[in-house]
Amino acid sequence: MTRLDEVGLVARRLGDARLAALSVSAGASLLRQSGRHGDALTRDGRALALVDPRPDVHDHAAVAAVADVMVNLAADNLGLGRFGASERLLNRADRVLAPHDETVGEEWVTGRPRVRLFWVRAERALYTGDPATALIEARRALALVRRFGAAAPPRHRIKTELIVAAAVSASGDTDPAIRTARRLRAEAAAGDLIPLEWAALSLLAGIGDDDAYVRTDMDDRYRLLYARGMPFVTVTNDR
């Protein structure tokens, strides 16, 4: 995260609050992906303090920055089991994005945080034992990603399909979920998207894939991510 901190420092010197907030929030995402939700919450709180919570609706970059931070905070609270706070933050992000509704020609700059909003809503539904709602929200995200086509990076499409697979599995239909996760694991590996490959392997392990190499490969990718600086929870930083 050192380079992200440097970007944030330069952004603050230049008076670019949006870039400063996004650099802080990007660092928080690494912590969140590593299971350190409390640390991520602190960092995302700093990001929110850097942006105007009521951005000009015509400034799409500002709208995206505010919505992103709110979605991130919702994900942090979800990881901490604070479901009510998570829902309130998602609703706030939804209101920020409302003038850029996906039904009226939304651009990817604001479409991306909306996709992420659907992700967290789906994950919240999974956390609270509502796989039907999770599947609805995950499919909304997938429909939006597909509508943007090449404008949406492959990693967004892969993660979205992984969330759909998780919701399908939670609904009791594990075989198609396993097939999808295996395909996505291969696609992530081909694109050197190691965090997503690890996520796909973790999903496969969680839903009972009988491939003998799943857990071995998952541990291998974990070690690789750790070696590359992913700040996983340890006895010294456990939050």
Q: Report pTM.
A: 0.92
Residue 106: band (very low, low, confident or very high) from pLDDT cuts 50, 70, 90: low
Residue 107's pLDDT is 87
> Where exactly are the structural domains of the chain?
2-172
In whole angstroms, what is the distance from residue 135 CA to residue 163 CA? Answer: 8
Closest CA to 184 of 212, 156, 211: 156
**Residues of the chain by 3-state class (helix, strand, coil), percent to 5:** 80, 0, 20
Residues 49 and 8: beta-carbon distance below 8 Å: no
Residue 103's pLDDT is 58
pLDDT in tens, 146-178: 999 999 999 999 999 999 999 999 999 999 999
Residue 234's pLDDT is 64
What are 67's two structure tokens? 């919505």
pLDDT in tens, 182-208: 999 999 999 999 999 999 999 999 999
Residue 105's pLDDT is 58
Q: How high is the mean pLDDT of the chain?
A: 91
pLDDT at 238 over 70: no
Closest CA to 119 of 69, 67, 75: 75
In whole angstroms, what is the distance from residue 123 CA to residue 179 CA? Answer: 20
In whole angstroms, what is the distance from residue 14 CA to residue 96 CA? Answer: 26
In whole angstroms, what is the distance from residue 92 CA to residue 185 CA? Answer: 33
Residue 36's pLDDT is 94
pLDDT at 1 over 70: no
Burial tier of 45 (Cβ tally within 10 Å: 0-12, 13-18, 19+): middle
Q: If you write DSSP's letter for every residue of 167-191 in order, what string do you get?
A: HHHHTT-HHHHHHHHHHHHHHHHHT
Residue 21's pLDDT is 86
From the candidate CATH numbers 1.25.40.10, 3.40.50.11750, 3.20.20.70, 1.10.1740.10, the one assigned to the domain spanning 2-172: 1.25.40.10
Residue 148's pLDDT is 92
Residue 100's pLDDT is 84
Residue 102's pLDDT is 64
Residues 163 and 139: beta-carbon distance below 8 Å: no
pLDDT at 237 over 60: no
In whole angstroms, what is the distance from residue 62 CA to residue 18 CA? Answer: 7
In whole angstroms, what is the distance from residue 118 CA to residue 140 CA? Answer: 7
pLDDT in tens, 14-41: 878 888 888 888 889 989 999 999 999 9
- Those residues with Cβ within 8 angstroms of residue 47's Cβ, 6 or more apart along the chain or in another chain: 21, 22, 24, 25, 28, 69, 72
Residue 45: band (very low, low, confident or very high) from pLDDT cuts 50, 70, 90: very high
Q: What is the mean pLDDT of residues 47-73?
A: 91
